[in-house]
Amino acid sequence: MIENVALAVDADGVHLDAVDMPIHMARQLLGRDKIIGATVKTVESATQARDDGADYLSIGAIYPATTKVTTVITKISTLNDIIEAVDIPVVAIGGLNSTNLDILKGSKIDGISVVSAIMEAENVRDDTKQLRELVDQLIIETMMQSALYQLLLLTYFSLNFQCSYRLYYCLLTYCNIFLFF
């Protein structure tokens, strides 16, 4: 079992699938200082994994994956429902690469997990860098849309022009700081 290997080599953490040891048992075995991730496919299994001690979740497969014999596709709407239901990081997994990330636009994912996109790359370094840039851009765009939407709601409900002006200034300041980090 992978959790036994993680314990034996004092790994920083382990990622558990449905066929592995239950998360709560792995947490007892590995302790609070180790990172435990889990792959889930439903809101119910996501909240249970979180409650059992998972530090992050992988959701998918978004597309068919070459690393699994049988791939069960997860809808983007399910991914988004899971993101809204849990307060731990969520990454999308399964068949993702630089040509198909657009499906994740608008999702509040914290990242993606890939194997084939890197292992099958012609130029691993350049392709990995490009993929990272695309994911960062996707996450930033989603955050900016969310911040802008919240600002527009606040401005709409504000009766004070000076207050609205200050909100716009705060957003612009936030955007500049965020984009330079």
Q: What is the pLDDT of residue 177?
A: 37
User: Per-residue pLDDT for the chain (181 aa), expressed as one digit of tens each?
Assistant: 666 777 778 888 889 988 889 999 999 999 999 999 999 999 999 999 999 999 999 999 999 988 766 788 999 999 999 999 999 999 999 999 999 999 999 899 988 988 888 888 899 889 989 998 998 888 888 876 665 555 554 544 444 444 444 444 444 444 433 333 2
In 3D space, the residue among 33, 35, 1, 34 whose CA is nearest the CA of residue 17 turns out to be 1
Helix, strand, coil percentages, rounded to 5, for the chain: 55, 10, 35
Burial string for 37-53 (b: 16+ CB within 10 Å, else e) reads bbbbbeeebbbbbbebb
Q: Is residue 13 helix, strand or coil?
A: strand
pTM for the structure as a whole? 0.76
Q: What is the pLDDT of residue 173?
A: 43
